[in-house]
């Protein structure tokens, strides 16, 4: 009998489960403040929905043995977008929705066999609003949620911003048959692949410069304007970033523009985001997202409603990153109800019920203890906050 969890799975102890719950509750409180309502998408969907119009590589889908082609969700966005355009089609736009739950992603291990990775996510989706104001709202909500969790200057938090249209505009300067390879090299940060492209030396140098172009939005936008000329996209992006910049500064988050950044899943066709913090061993990605209008358009028959933007937090990454005291709100250990002899068991149960009636977490020690001091030692071992001693 195997004694270890499957590769990619993880056993969580009670403290880790409690910290996950507190992080999810904290995020949900912030989402609700901004008017977002909770939904609960299914854990499995038809494969064509999960693939998100080709935005997700089929090799990353965990398929199920069933008559229909079904699989486990690798993220939450596609399922929520589908439900918004079908079950919630009659509701007025924009829709502000949030959800959390486990996602599943497949990969190939060193042995060549499939490996399944599960991840607990929490995030929001703003559907039916194609304006830059929706982009601003999403970024500000992401920053507010990070601030509520305690992320900021102490974690060297950075919000990386990119845009699918920027990369497309830069690549349009290349011959069409080389654009895909150049995009892969830029998004994969592969200077050797750029060097091997059969393009002019001028274009190669520009691509190499794009690979290094990231940092404060102002200088990056100025460089892009020199290469691309007057472009409405640059003006819109400059306006969005100027609006968000003071919010980021207020939360101790550095705002960075990276034209070559693209998230792991190719769902996005507009603004893209990634919140990165510094962990014990290096950078940790704690949230990502962006705009996915084309994905919504696959499910919606109304062109005016084909708009969506959202983000998702990696709850496990947050749990491992945040100092324990920052997510201990309301998580003091229970009261230990202990008694001196079997004759006090009934009385101890009454005390336990009274504490529960007051909304106080309490647990019963099942065997009599000789002294209250001994009960105190047991309470300390079990992580209880105090002892309710029941004596004769």
Phi, psi of 79 (to 5 degrees): -65, -40
Look up residue 369 and give its DSSP letter: -
Pair (280, 343) in one structural domain: no
What's the CATH number where 360 sits?
Answer: 3.40.50.800
In a domain, 148, yes or no: yes
- Which residue reads 């510094």 in tokens? 278
What's the CATH number where 24 sits?
Answer: 3.30.930.10
Pair (38, 162) in one structural domain: yes
In a domain, 1, yes or no: no
Pair (312, 346) in one structural domain: no
Pair (280, 186) in one structural domain: yes
Q: In what order do the strands lie in the sheet with 62-64?
A: 44-46, 70-72, 62-64
CA distance 36 to 39: 10
Q: How big is the CA angle at 240 (ends 154 and 283), to the nearest 5 degrees?
A: 30
In a domain, 3, yes or no: no
Pair (248, 370) in one structural domain: no
In a domain, 9, yes or no: no
CA distance 168 to 102: 33
CA distance 275 to 154: 14
Under 8 Å CB-to-CB from 336, ≥6 apart: which residues?
Answer: 362, 363, 365, 375, 378, 379, 382, 384, 386, 387, 388
The CA-based dihedral angle spanning residues 123, 183, 116, 268, taken in that order and rounded to the nearest 10 degrees: 20
Q: Residue 190 is encoded by which pair of tokens?
A: 């592969």
Q: How far is CA 74 from CA 47, 79, 103, 257, 273, in A?
A: 11, 10, 5, 27, 18
Residue 32 CB neighbours (<10 A): 13
Element (H, E) at 29: helix 14-33
**Per-residue model confidence as pLDDT tens for the chain (392 residues):** 667 777 777 888 888 999 999 999 999 999 999 999 999 999 999 999 988 877 888 888 999 998 899 999 999 999 999 999 999 999 999 999 999 999 999 987 766 777 889 999 999 999 999 999 999 999 999 999 999 999 988 899 999 999 999 988 988 888 888 888 888 888 888 888 888 888 888 888 888 888 889 999 999 999 999 988 889 999 999 999 999 999 999 999 999 999 988 887 888 999 999 999 998 788 999 999 999 999 999 998 777 779 999 999 999 999 999 877 555 454 568 999 999 988 899 999 999 999 999 989 899 998 999 999 999 999 999 889 999 999 87
Distance from CA of residue 350 to its chain's centroid? 44
- The residue out of 306, 327, 348 marking a domain boundary is 327
In a domain, 8, yes or no: no
Domain of residue 174 covers 14-327
Three-class DSSP category at 125: strand
Own/partner long-range contacts of 48-54 (Cβ < 8 Å, ≥24 apart): 49/78, 49/79, 49/82, 50/74, 50/78, 50/79, 52/77, 52/78, 52/265, 52/267, 52/295, 52/298, 53/294, 53/295, 53/298, 54/266
Residue count of the chain: 392
Pair (102, 151) in one structural domain: yes
Tell me the CA end-to-end span of the chain in Å, nearest whole number.
49
Pair (77, 145) in one structural domain: yes
Pair (292, 373) in one structural domain: no
Distance from CA of residue 205 to its chain's centroid? 35
CA distance 257 to 262: 12
Pair (241, 314) in one structural domain: yes
Report pLDDT for 108: 79
Look at the chain and report how many structural domains it folds into. 2
> pLDDT tens-digit profile of 277-290?
998 788 999 999 99
Residue 383 CB neighbours (<10 A): 12
Pair (222, 339) in one structural domain: no
- The residue out of 276, 292, 327 marking a domain boundary is 327
In a domain, 56, yes or no: yes
Q: Residue 290 is encoded by which pair of tokens?
A: 């962006």
Look up residue 326 and give its DSSP letter: G
Give the predicted TM-score (pTM) of the model: 0.85
- The residue out of 276, 301, 327 marking a domain boundary is 327
In a domain, 24, yes or no: yes
Distance from CA of residue 278 to its chain's centroid? 16
Pair (224, 165) in one structural domain: yes
Partners of 253 in the β-ladder: none
In a domain, 162, yes or no: yes
CA distance 55 to 295: 9
Q: Residue 21 is encoded by which pair of tokens?
A: 């719950």
Closest to 190 in 3D by CA, of 210, 175, 161, 216: 210
Pair (307, 348) in one structural domain: no
């Amino acid at each position: 009998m195997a004694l270890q969890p499957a590769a990619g799975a993880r056993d969580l102890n009670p403290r880790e489960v409690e910290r996950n719950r507190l992080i999810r509750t904290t995020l949900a409180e912030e989402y609700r403040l901004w008017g977002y309502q909770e939904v609960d998408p299914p854990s499995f969907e038809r494969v064509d929905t999960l693939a998100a119009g080709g935005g997700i590589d089929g090799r990353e889908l965990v398929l199920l043995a069933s008559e229909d082609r079904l699989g486990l969700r690798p993220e939450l966005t596609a399922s929520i977008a589908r439900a918004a355009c079908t079950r919630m089609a009659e509701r007025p736009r924009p829709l502000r929705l949030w959800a959390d739950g486990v996602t599943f992603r497949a990969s190939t291990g060193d042995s060549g066999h499939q490996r399944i990775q599960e991840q607990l996510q929490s995030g929001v989706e703003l559907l039916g609003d194609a304006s830059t104001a929706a982009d601003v709202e999403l970024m500000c909500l992401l920053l507010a949620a990070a601030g509520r969790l305690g992320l900021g200057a102490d974690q060297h938090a950075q919000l990386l911003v990119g845009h699918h249209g920027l990369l497309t505009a830069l690549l349009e300067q290349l011959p069409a048959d080389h654009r895909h390879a150049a995009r892969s090299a830029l998004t994969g940060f592969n200077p050797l692949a750029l060097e091997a492209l059969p393009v002019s030396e001028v274009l190669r140098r520009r691509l190499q410069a794009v690979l290094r172009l990231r940092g404060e939005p102002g200088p990056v936008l100025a460089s892009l304007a020199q290469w691309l000329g007057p472009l409405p996209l640059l003006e819109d992006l400059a306006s969005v970033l100027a609006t968000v910049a003071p919010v980021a500064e207020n939360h101790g988050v550095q705002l960075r523009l990276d034209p070559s950044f693209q998230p792991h899943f190719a769902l996005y066709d507009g603004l893209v985001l990634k919140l990165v913090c510094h962990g014990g061993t290096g950078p940790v990605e704690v949230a990502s997202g962006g705009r996915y209008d084309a994905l919504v358009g696959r499910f919606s028959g109304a062109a005016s409603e084909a708009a969506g933007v959202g983000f998702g937090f990696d709850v496990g990454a947050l749990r491992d990153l945040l100092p324990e005291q920052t997510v201990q709100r309301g998580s003091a250990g229970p009261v230990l109800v202990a008694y001196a002899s079997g004759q006090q068991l009934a009385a101890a149960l009454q005390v336990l019920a009274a504490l529960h009636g007051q909304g106080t977490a309490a647990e019963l020690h099942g065997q009599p203890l000789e002294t209250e001091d001994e009960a105190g030692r047991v309470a300390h071992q079990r992580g209880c906050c105090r002892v309710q001693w029941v004596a004769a």
